[in-house]
Amino acid sequence: MDLYEHQARQLFEEHGIPVPRAEVADSPQQARGIARRLGGRAVVKAQVKTGGRGKAGGVRFAADPAAAELTARQILGMDIKGHRVRTVLLAEPVDIAEEFYVSYVLDRTAGGFLAIASAQGGMEIEEVAATRPQAVARIPVDRAEGVTSAKAGEIASAAGLPPQTVDVLVRLWQVLVREDALLVEVNPLVRTAQGRILALDGKVTVDDNARFRQARWGARDEEHQDPLEAAAAERGLTYVRLDGQVGVIGNGAGLVMSTLDVVAGCGARPANFLDIGGGASAQVMADGLSVILSDPAVKSVLVNVFGGITACDAVAEGIVAAVDTVRLTKPLVVRLDGNNAARGRAILGERAHPLVEQATTMDGAARRAAELAHTV
Ligand code: GDP
Ligand code: MN
């Protein structure tokens, strides 16, 4: 889960990393009051979980409280790369002498953490990294050894950062470790005209697997959560949205994954997949179908169940209950095999819903679902 800039800033502050004075507002009037408290002038910054706010017009200077109110009114409600701005951060403006870039990131290919730092920070860092890679230092960090003062000194000198940044580099590593982060980034870390080092912007990505320890950020990420994923999660199901036309329901991760491959092999693309898990009941099947059917991209649905702990007759009863309650509008191809398959097929056969077809093999079912997705 990504944190908002103001949340990252709060963590920096808690770990002794110097940041400018700042407060969050969700209305223009509130922005005006904060600017007054900050001494009149303020940088008004959109709070959205995406980068490049500056270039998108989401970071603007206001010379007095009235201007802060007006600027906040313009930024609140803005759409930045698909993210609606609901709050702004008002920060005390600083005189920038130099902008640096520093981050620690989990590098999955290298299987370890990497310090990335540059003396050419700021809004053009991507450009710098692409055209002058030698201006960006990349130094592996051992998770167990961490970033000591000596290590921070090594990073700073490799990147050409002034020695005053060493303390920030050490503390930033502490943020990563103590806050269960997979990424911490400061861009820009600045040297002010007065010679102070300040973190002017922050990005922190918290490991989702550590949410139980990081409950302060909320149980789920309200900005990023897909509404159908949320609906599925509420019912204890795993649902993932993809970009094709065939809805896929299966039991067990392995079977679901191979079903996706078979659908792709039939020339169609899965629209999503839903794993109803090992102990799927009629209720679970009904819940799953209603989640899948409410996705407008879905043109046909493939239910592929290999009965083990989940008996096929329970799945069939779930399907029958579901087609009666959710009002089926899209064709459903069902393949039941394994535990109680014959009884399951008989239950579906008796119900004889015009939009429900059965197939005996996984390949046959996938082929038929792909065909239906193309014709409806
Ligand atoms: P981003 O574009 O989403 O990364 O937003 P930032 O918070 O990094 O702001 C973008 C740019 O605005 C920074 O790189 C700075 O150059 C500039 N900026 C932000 N705050 C201040 C400030 O207090 N004073 C000055 N002079 N520039 C600022
Ligand atoms: Mn930035």
Angle made by CA atoms 217, 222, 224, in degrees to the nearest 5: 110
pLDDT of residue 31: 98
Number of domains into which the chain is organized:
3
For residue 271, give the CATH number of its domain: 3.40.50.261
Whether residue 313 has its Cβ less than 6 Å from ligand 1: no
Whether residue 250 has its Cβ less than 6 Å from ligand 1: no
Residue of minimum CA distance from atom 16 in ligand 1: 122
311 and 327 within one domain = yes
121: which 2 tokens? 């920070």
For residue 32, give the CATH number of its domain: 3.30.1490.20
Whether residue 199 has its Cβ less than 6 Å from ligand 1: no
275 and 257 within one domain = yes
Q: Which residue out of 4, 101, 104, 239 is catalytically annotated?
A: 101
Ligand number nearest CA of 9 is: 1
Ligand number nearest CA of 124 is: 1
108 and 67 within one domain = no
Looking at the domain assignment, is residue 13 inside a domain? no
260 and 152 within one domain = no
Which range of residues forms the domain containing residue 66? Answer: 21-91
Q: Residue 327: phi, psi to the nearest 5?
A: 55, 90
Q: Provide the phi-psi class of 160: left if phi over 0, else alpha when psi is between -120 and 50, else beta.
A: left
363 and 232 within one domain = yes
Q: Is residue 301 classed as helix, strand or coil in its secondary structure?
A: strand
Determine the distance separating the centroid of ligand 2 and the alpha carbon of 286, expressed in angstroms.
Answer: 46
Residue of minimum CA distance from atom 9 in ligand 1: 54
Looking at the domain assignment, is residue 162 inside a domain? yes
Whether 101 is catalytic: yes
100 and 63 within one domain = no
Looking at the domain assignment, is residue 299 inside a domain? yes
364 and 273 within one domain = yes
pLDDT of residue 286: 80
157 and 30 within one domain = no
Tens of each residue's pLDDT in the chain, 376 residues: 899 999 999 999 999 999 999 999 999 999 999 999 999 999 999 999 999 999 999 999 999 999 999 999 999 999 998 899 999 999 999 999 999 999 999 988 878 999 999 999 999 999 999 999 999 999 999 999 999 999 999 999 999 999 999 999 999 999 999 999 999 999 999 999 999 999 999 999 999 888 778 788 875 566 666 777 777 777 777 888 888 999 999 988 889 999 999 999 999 999 999 988 766 667 787 888 888 888 889 999 999 999 888 889 988 998 998 888 878 889 999 999 999 999 999 999 999 999 999 999 999 999 999 999 998 6
Please state, in angstroms and rounded to a whole number, the distance separating the CA atoms of residues 28 and 88.
9
pLDDT of residue 225: 67
Looking at the domain assignment, is residue 3 inside a domain? no
Length of the chain: 376
203 and 115 within one domain = yes
46 and 31 within one domain = yes
Residue of minimum CA distance from atom 2 in ligand 1: 54
114 and 39 within one domain = no
pTM recorded for the entire structure: 0.69
276 and 160 within one domain = no
pLDDT of residue 289: 86
End of a domain among 76, 91, 106? 91
Q: Is there a contact between 355 and 332 (Cβ–Cβ < 8 Å)?
A: yes
- Which residues does 18 contact at the CB level (< 8 Å), separation at least 6? 168, 196, 197, 198, 199
Please state, in angstroms and rounded to a whole number, the distance separating the CA atoms of residues 299 and 98.
55
Looking at the domain assignment, is residue 169 inside a domain? yes
pLDDT of residue 109: 80
End of a domain among 91, 115, 135? 91
Whether 104 is catalytic: no
End of a domain among 194, 217, 240? 217
pLDDT of residue 277: 78
Looking at the domain assignment, is residue 144 inside a domain? yes
Looking at the domain assignment, is residue 6 inside a domain? no
For residue 211, give the CATH number of its domain: 3.30.470.20
Q: Which of 200, 203, 204 to mutate to test the pocket of ligand 1 (most atoms within 8 A of CB)?
A: 200
Whether residue 60 has its Cβ less than 6 Å from ligand 1: no
Looking at the domain assignment, is residue 47 inside a domain? yes
